[in-house]
Amino acid sequence: MTVTALDPRTALVVIDLQNGIVGAPTQPYSGPEVVSRTAQLADAFRARDLPVVLVRVSFAEDGADAVPGRNEASGPAGTRPEGWDVVVDELSGHPGDITITKRNWGAFHGTGLDVQLRRRGVTQIVLTGIATSIGVESTARAAHEHGYHVTLATDAMSDMNADAHHNSIERIFPRLGERGTTAEILELLAKTHG
């Protein structure tokens, strides 16, 4: 389904487009493709004085704030390269943007994201980022649970696994909000926000 509406106070929420993630192999879109489309959306949101939220994942060097619990998919904790958690240059450097640092998959738990959005009167979010089935999906689920209208920019997100990406796009996201391409969202933004 094509996105049908954007609320007067809609925010763009960008998930994990940071140096250590966008260079990983992703499907069906490359990291640079996701960044380029997200940058188009961010520029359009900024031009209309709508909030842009840049969410990044980061952990303390000693791993003390890493996600708790056992699972079968964790890699070795190890040291990450310098600057791995820095938002990519194409999106950074805009003083009006909101930066959120998360320690979990989703951007709501344990962060000030909900407070930042509510203080600005935001009722809807447009989501982009990497990985579709992890950070983006977790954030979409929580946004829906928090009562936000959710729009998913389907060509401005990607995953390490094409099947996981398509599962989120085709099976999960229709239950959480509306889907649209970057071009469709930009067109609707121009119609509804001048």
Query: Tens of pLDDT along 1-22?
Result: 589 999 999 999 999 999 999 9
Predicted confidence (pLDDT) per residue in 104-149, tens digit: 899 999 999 999 999 999 999 999 999 999 999 999 999 999 999 9
Residue 189 one-letter amino acid: L
Predicted confidence (pLDDT) per residue in 46-72, tens digit: 999 999 999 999 876 656 566 666 555
With pLDDT > 70 as the criterion, what percentage of the chain qualifies?
89
| CATH code, domain with 43 | 3.40.50.850
User: What tokens were used for 141?
Assistant: 């689920």
* 77 domain residue, yes or no: no
Give the pLDDT score at 60. 65
Could you tell me if 56 and 100 are in contact, meaning their C-beta atoms sit under 8 angstroms apart?
A: yes
* 154 domain residue, yes or no: yes
Give the pLDDT score at 64. 58
* 41 domain residue, yes or no: yes
* 155 domain residue, yes or no: yes
Q: How confident is the model at residue 76 (pLDDT cuts 50, 70, 90)?
A: very low
* 1 domain residue, yes or no: no
Q: Which domain holds residue 179?
A: 10-58+85-193
Residue 73 DSSP label? S
Count: domains in the chain? 1
